[in-house]
Structure 1
Amino acid sequence: MVPTIDPVITAVPGKPNLLTGAYDLATVGYRADEFFVAGTATSYEGVADYLTRIVVLRPIDDAAWNGTAIVEWLNVSGGIDAAAVWFMAHREIIRAGYAYVVVSAQRVGIEGGLSLVGDASLKTLDLQRYSTLHHPGDKFAYDIFTQVGRAVRDGQIEGLTPKFVLAVGESQSATFLTTYVNEVDPAAGVYDGFLIHSRFGSAAPLDGTSLLDETGAFHTVAVPFRADLRVPVLTVITETDLTGARLLGYLHARVPDTDTLRVWEIPGSAHADNYTIKVGFIDNGATPLDQLVAAYTPTNDLMGQQLPHFINFAPQHHYVLQAAVAGLHDWVRTGRPAPSAPQIDMTDADPPAIALDANGLAAGGLRTPWVDVPTARTSGASAEDNVLLAIFGSGEPFDAETLARLYPGGRDDYLARFTAALDQAIGAGFLLAADRGEILELAAATFAV
């Protein structure tokens, strides 16, 4: 699957169609440049020509670039090219000064097709701009991603000759990246490390079958990471991913950490949450605290549907993912592995369930102050069977009586214990010191008693 001819990369004037947030990128010191990429991709069944697009997000000030490029496999589950990792971790990406390349790696994002929401493909949204694009199918997506990564590494994009190139992807994209690191990367050898965010237990097939086709036999097959990974792989797993939301849970593909693998399982987290649908849109690093607090406020309104419970509203998923970006980069840059985290505890039931502590929160796993010093019970579980709704988990704020029992000294008691737990998580490498002040402000502003 290693291509023999470099793709042709052409700059495209004008504004690319890419949702990065409700803020202007220029206000955070970044710009977006779009390129069309033309080439011939291979699969295990043949070759095909393609014309796709990439968008390069980078500091306006060239001196602010840290020398590393991150390449994201765009997520198409919602029928749109979504930069899911950028959306959840952009604060760290921006302040660290990464160049960030997003790739329309799959057919649905360009041409439309099976999705959980509808058709918001590039050709549907802007046919005039994207009418010439052509994607031959997802069996060719792996080689397209390889070719783009190699082009980035080799300096084919003007102004970028990175020291390191990292690959990232979330949810459906993470499932494709699982197959990529197991089956493609050993021969391709393009990327220096992988951040695989929220994969489930199975992996994408090589034949291009849609992951949203629930009849696919691959859904029932657990696919662990290979034991001899070529480069560092850091995987972030939420409770939803672990147990599965109508999908085979990562629990079935669990393997111990190795010299090249770290798996961070986050208690109290869901595959998607308030940050996904509300906070991330406005979070530009200068958003007033009251607006952040309002966006984190528990809600049961999800895309116009009223759920019988709040969706997950805990902030830890976003902050841990930012630490994962930094941790993978440090691992690749220095050779010092990212920290290992305990696995979330499971019961001996058949099937196993997540073991809960006295507060009804998941035991074990990567510990954060939101589960060790809680004000709410949050999880990856949902009462909804619909896969789109199920991935948002659930949350239940503690009542005043429970808060008074847990923190008899009131707000000061809570904040002292929260701060100690926060500093412990920062010291362990699972949260970033750069986020400490904001996290403490949020904790103080959201304590209800």
Structure 2
Amino acid sequence: MNTKKKTWAAVVLLLGLSGCQGGQDTEGRPTPASARFDGPVGAAGLYGHPMWDHWFDIGEVGYVEEEFFVAGRAREHAGDGEADYVTRVIVRRPRQAADFNGTLLLDWVNVTAQFENAVDTLAAHRFFLREGYAYVHLSAQAAGLCCSPLTPTVWDPVRYAALNHPGDTYAFDMVSQIARGFRAPVGTDPMGGLRPEVILIMGQSQSAIRLHQYVNEVQARARAIDGFLIHADVGAGKDFGTAPPAPVLHLLSDLEAEPEAPTATSNYVLWEVAGAAHQDLWVGEHQVLGQSRRVVAHLPKQPMAEDDRLHAIAGNYGEQPDPALGLCVVAGAAFPMRYAVASAIDHLDRWVRDGVLPPQPPRYQFDEDGNRAVDDLGNTLGGLRYPPIDVPVARYQSTTCELGGITIPLTELELLQRYPSHGDYLAQMQTATEASVTAGYLLPEDAAELMERAAAARNRWPLDALTGN
């Protein structure tokens, strides 16, 4: 056993002495366990940085990014087993307390592809940095840590020799313990003295399915997390009982469209985003052109300006033709679900803090056979409608590839039939954008970005140059 493994074996053996295991309070009632943090890990290992840290330098905007190992002894869900674990988290937090908004976001990262994909972090990272959130890449599941080439223990077996995940039946208790550890640190303080007032957790697809189960089966007794963003839990349905034990904002794309009504009558809000795909261009480009290049090619961190340049490509909502819009899954689906992710988190935070219920949009529309209804372009009817769906410049074939989709920009003739000039298009987009902000579905900063893109689409009306419009 190498030195690092010996160190962590000792840590695990000492957990009972450090307050990490559950015990009993003065009245003999069981007390919940919390995890122990060790780190920051620093420049250890073959490459000197965490796997799946940001590929750009958030230090430029006053943030610290650090990796910690987390240890404890977890109970098996729906079983009698107990097991030691060592996992890891990557913590991104404001350097100064004055810049911290008091909310910590845990991202239960997706492992469907047998590597970790922090979907909601990729979708909303600029919103987090702008608003002063602390946000955490949380390695909750075994497949994210081992054993494909794009997992930490294979990618850097030196840095990650100590990791030990006992299996996903222990993941719920591990996550609860880690959340408690952020509130009352044992070992190293991963927040550098910052104290979260609110802890939210988010997860997409497979991770959302796990969070759906967590809400229904764990939250009532664990009470370690204050609110849940459950994003695209395909096939899980809308059953959360009469009232979830904590606020749940349920964020769905076209793929998850089902005519059944939600069971919950309180503590639950459903957003079905018309035109959105399960996996989209924005997340795919950030993962492939940003995160994966750092991991595979061992590139150094890039300036934040490089992330801005990537946004120019990844932010296309179909207003500009691009061959990538026809590529399934990784690219293709260009509808901007990122706006909904950011707004949903903003609302969830205020809901938990102040009891301000998020707005409730209309449901999707369905035909007599229970299928999602579409308009003459094949775009979804009903649901939460962002400006690009109501003032369309593209067909959003959001479920063509099941988990992804493709985007087909309208031809010049089709655009002219709908909008005689770019000015007509821009005016309609302005009206729809202002309405979306007023309704609470689009953040003002995202509205400004959307309108900048719409204004830059003048090239789609080449006759304007001839007519002087």
Superposition TM-score, scaled by structure 2 size: 0.80
* 1:80 to 2:100 alignment: no
* 1:166 to 2:166 alignment: no
* 1:97 to 2:97 alignment: no
Structure 1 segment 209-358 matched on structure 2, within 5 A: 222=237, 224-242=239-257, 251=258, 254-255=261-262, 258-278=265-285, 292-295=311-314, 296=316, 299=322, 301=324, 311-315=332-336, 317-349=337-369, 352-358=370-376
Partner of 2:296: none
What SS does the corresponding residue of 2:159 show, helix, strand or coil?
Answer: helix
**One-letter code aligned to 2:126:** R
Match of 1:446 among 457, 460, 465: 457
Change (3 A) 1:236 1:140: same
* 1:414 to 2:425 alignment: yes
What SS does the corresponding residue of 2:158 show, helix, strand or coil?
Answer: helix
* C-alpha contact (below 8 Å) 1:79/1:119 kept by paired residues: no
**One-letter code aligned to 1:194:** F
Change (3 A) 1:34 1:372: same
**One-letter code aligned to 1:334:** D
Partner of 1:208: none
Query: Once the 2 structures are TM-superposed, how far is the Cα of residue 292 of structure 1 from its aligned partner?
Result: 3.8
Measure, in 1, the Cα distance between the counterparts of 2:61 and 2:208: 27
What SS does the corresponding residue of 2:220 show, helix, strand or coil?
Answer: helix
* C-alpha contact (below 8 Å) 2:204/2:232 kept by paired residues: yes
Aligned residues: 405
Measure, in 1, the Cα distance between the counterparts of 2:32 and 2:264: 35
For structure 2, list consecutive stretches of 5 or more residues without a partner in the other structure. Answer: 1-21, 23-29, 291-301, 462-469
Query: Once the 2 structures are TM-superposed, how far is the Cα of residue 444 of structure 1 from its aligned partner?
Result: 1.5
Measure, in 2, the Cα distance between the counterparts of 1:38 and 1:309: 34
* 1:437 to 2:448 alignment: yes
Partner of 2:384: 366
For structure 1, list consecutive stretches of 5 or more residues without a partner in the other structure. Answer: 113-117, 203-221, 243-250, 385-389
Query: Once the 2 structures are TM-superposed, how far is the Cα of residue 284 of structure 1 from its aligned partner?
Result: 8.8
Partner of 2:397: 379
Partner of 1:214: none
Quote the RMSD (CA, aligned, Å): 2.6
Match of 1:194 among 202, 206, 228: 228
* C-alpha contact (below 8 Å) 2:35/2:180 kept by paired residues: no
Structure 1 segment 114-133 matched on structure 2, within 5 A: 119-133=149-163
* C-alpha contact (below 8 Å) 1:270/1:392 kept by paired residues: yes
* 1:56 to 2:112 alignment: no
Measure, in 1, the Cα distance between the counterparts of 2:132 and 2:213: 29
What SS does the corresponding residue of 1:111 show, helix, strand or coil?
Answer: coil
Query: Once the 2 structures are TM-superposed, how far is the Cα of residue 194 of structure 1 from its aligned partner?
Result: 0.5
**One-letter code aligned to 2:389:** V
**One-letter code aligned to 1:55:** I
* 1:13 to 2:13 alignment: no
Change (3 A) 1:284 1:356: farther
- The C-alpha deviation readout for 1:153-202, integer Å capped at 9, x for no partner, is 22443413211111111111101000000000010011111111111122
Q: What is the percent sequence identity of the aligned residues?
A: 34
Change (3 A) 1:72 1:310: closer
* C-alpha contact (below 8 Å) 1:232/1:260 kept by paired residues: yes
Structure 1 segment 167-186 matched on structure 2, within 5 A: 167-186=201-220
- The C-alpha deviation readout for 1:58-103, integer Å capped at 9, x for no partner, is 1123321111111111211122222221111111111110111221
Query: Once the 2 structures are TM-superposed, how far is the Cα of residue 123 of structure 1 from its aligned partner?
Result: 0.3
Measure, in 2, the Cα distance between the counterparts of 1:262 and 1:96: 23
Query: Once the 2 structures are TM-superposed, how far is the Cα of residue 254 of structure 1 from its aligned partner?
Result: 4.2
Change (3 A) 1:151 1:288: closer
**One-letter code aligned to 1:181:** V
Change (3 A) 1:299 1:415: closer
* C-alpha contact (below 8 Å) 2:330/2:404 kept by paired residues: no
Structure 1 segment 393-412 matched on structure 2, within 5 A: 393-408=405-420, 410-412=421-423
Measure, in 1, the Cα distance between the counterparts of 2:390 and 2:375: 10
Query: Once the 2 structures are TM-superposed, how far is the Cα of residue 23 of structure 1 from its aligned partner?
Result: 1.9
Measure, in 2, the Cα distance between the counterparts of 1:164 and 1:311: 36
Partner of 1:71: 106
Superposition TM-score, scaled by structure 1 size: 0.84
Change (3 A) 1:327 1:422: same
Query: Once the 2 structures are TM-superposed, how far is the Cα of residue 285 of structure 1 from its aligned partner?
Result: 7.6
* C-alpha contact (below 8 Å) 1:152/1:160 kept by paired residues: no
Partner of 1:150: 180
